[in-house]
């Protein structure tokens, strides 16, 4: 063998006298006997690799510039129903932090020590697993550790995801992106144009200097429908912008005193807050002016 380092070997076959049977680690072996079959790593091979990398990089850059990544929906700080979730590849870490010995007073254990050991040992693998053996069943320690990690990560990810799904059904939440997709499909199958998310929220506030606007801020309405009249669509609270297109002043007064759908009667609460009947009438009048 031309590159045999084993000095105990009796017969050393060397095809070419220019290739020494014992090559020093520091000098390049002479591969000139195999023209076209091999080449030196530095600089020839590295340069080729580099060229390919540059082409791939330029390709990615072009894609990034032409097909901009879609942005998510704007964050809504008033949406109390939102369940924050990490990306799928971090679900296992997220799940880990739900266990009593990895959270609360042990949170350093869950956030620093366990991930530290996991990722730290990954870096140490080349130094610890130095055996020449490549078959996985001949490397029981490494293989077992890897299998255990895979099983643990899969288990934690699945548990985390099912828990999230249960939470959604229990609290009756449909995540915003799915809700919007459903609305879009519903509109499509009904032959309507895709609903614009800005349809109601985009309508401007009419007569913002009306006395009714001041009353609105003091009334109960503001806690749910918001100071900007945008509501919390994700929680089923409609925007009141453009509400005048749907309900007139009388209807809105009726909604205030009797409630509507999931919204309870608001009349008594507002009287308790110090508003008068006349205030509520003005409020309803102002809301009825909210036409898009
Ligand atoms: C506890 C939260 C809450 C409060 C407070 C509240 N609303 Fe509502 N409002 C809702 C919800 C939820 C709905 C949707 C009801 C449904 O359709 O099931 C709604 C619907 C409405 C609608 C009908 C909107 C439409 O598109 O048909 C009007 C009008 C309205 N509210 C006005 C008011 C006014 C005026 C006040 C203050 C006096 C008020 N709301 C206070 C939660 C609230």
Average pLDDT over the chain reads 84
Best residue among 172, 238, 275 to mutate for probing ligand 1's pocket (most ligand atoms within 8 Å of CB) is 238
Judge contact between 235 and 79, C-beta under 8 A.
yes
Judge contact between 238 and 199, C-beta under 8 A.
no
pLDDT digits (tens, 9 = 90+) for 79-127: 777 888 899 999 999 999 999 888 888 989 988 999 899 889 888 888 8
Judge contact between 20 and 4, C-beta under 8 A.
no
> Cα(165) to centroid of ligand 1, in Å?
28
Please give the Cα distance from 183 to 111 (Å, whole number).
Answer: 39
Q: Residue 226: pLDDT above 80?
A: yes
In which band, very low, low, confident or very high, does the pLDDT at 1 lie, cut at 50, 70 and 90? very low
> Cα(258) to centroid of ligand 1, in Å?
11
Beta-carbon neighbour count of residue 287 at 10 Å?
28
Beta-carbon neighbour count of residue 257 at 10 Å?
14
Q: Which atom of ligand 1 is nearest to the CA of 251?
A: 29
The answer for 242, left when phi > 0, alpha when psi is -120 to 50, beta otherwise, is left
Mean pLDDT value of segment 7-16: 62
pLDDT digits (tens, 9 = 90+) for 135-191: 888 888 888 988 999 999 999 999 999 999 999 999 888 887 788 788 888 888 887
Long-range contacts of 168-173 (CB under 8 A, 24+ apart): 168/83, 171/81, 173/81, 173/83
Res 70: pLDDT: 74
Res 227: pLDDT: 86
As a residue count, the chain comes to 292
Question: From the CB of 219, is ligand 1 less than 6 Å away?
Answer: yes
Torsions phi, psi for 30 (to 5 deg): -90, 105
> Cα(260) to centroid of ligand 1, in Å?
7
- Over pLDDT 70: what percentage of the chain? 86
Beta-carbon neighbour count of residue 127 at 10 Å?
7
Q: Which atom of ligand 1 is nearest to the CA of 287?
A: 35
Best residue among 260, 272, 274, 284 to mutate for probing ligand 1's pocket (most ligand atoms within 8 Å of CB) is 260
In which band, very low, low, confident or very high, does the pLDDT at 63 lie, cut at 50, 70 and 90? very high
Judge contact between 284 and 220, C-beta under 8 A.
no
> Cα(225) to centroid of ligand 1, in Å?
7
Res 22: pLDDT: 63
Question: From the CB of 218, is ligand 1 less than 6 Å away?
Answer: no
The residues, ordered by sequence, that sit 6+ positions from 23 with a Cβ below 8 Å of its Cβ are 3, 29
> Cα(122) to centroid of ligand 1, in Å?
55
Judge contact between 153 and 147, C-beta under 8 A.
no
In which band, very low, low, confident or very high, does the pLDDT at 5 lie, cut at 50, 70 and 90? low
Q: Residue 247: pLDDT above 80?
A: yes
Please give the Cα distance from 2 to 5 (Å, whole number).
Answer: 9
- Over pLDDT 90: what percentage of the chain? 32
In angstroms, the Cα distances linking 54 to 50, 60, 99, 178, 187 are 6, 10, 45, 38, 45
Judge contact between 149 and 161, C-beta under 8 A.
no
Q: Residue 253: pLDDT above 60?
A: yes
Please give the Cα distance from 91 to 249 (Å, whole number).
Answer: 50
Indicate which residue's Cα is closest to atom 12 of ligand 1. Answer: 237
């Amino acid at each position: 063998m031309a590159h045999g380092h084993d000095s105990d070997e009796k017969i050393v076959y060397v095809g070419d006298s220019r290739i020494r049977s014992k090559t020093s680690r520091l000098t390049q072996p002479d591969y000139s006997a195999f023209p076209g079959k091999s080449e030196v790593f530095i600089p020839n091979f590295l340069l080729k690799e580099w060229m390919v990398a540059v082409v791939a990089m330029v390709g990615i850059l072009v894609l990034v510039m032409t097909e901009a990544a879609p942005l998510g929906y704007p964050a809504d700080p008033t949406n109390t129903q939102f369940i924050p979730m990490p990306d799928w590849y971090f679900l296992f870490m997220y799940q880990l932090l739900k266990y009593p010995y990895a959270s609360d007073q042990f949170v350093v254990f869950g956030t620093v020590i366990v991930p530290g050991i996991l990722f730290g040992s990954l870096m140490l693998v080349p130094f610890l697993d130095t055996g020449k053996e490549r078959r996985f069943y001949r490397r029981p320690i490494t293989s077992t550790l890897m299998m255990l990690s895979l099983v643990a990560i899969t288990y934690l990810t699945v548990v985390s995801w099912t828990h999230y799904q249960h939470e959604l059904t229990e609290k009756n939440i449909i995540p915003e992106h799915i809700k919007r997709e459903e609305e879009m499909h519903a509109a499509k199958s009904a032959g309507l144009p895709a609903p614009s998310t800005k349809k109601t929220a985009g309508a401007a506030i009419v007569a913002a200097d009306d006395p009714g606007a001041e009353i609105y801020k003091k009334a109960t309405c503001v806690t749910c429908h918001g100071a900007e009249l945008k509501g919390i669509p994700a929680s089923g609270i409609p925007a009141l912008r453009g509400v005048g297109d749907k309900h007139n002043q009388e209807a809105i007064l009726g909604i205030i005193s009797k409630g509507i759908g999931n919204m309870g009667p608001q009349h008594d609460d507002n009287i308790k807050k110090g508003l008068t009947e006349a205030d509520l009438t003005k409020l309803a009048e102002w809301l009825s002016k909210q036409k898009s």
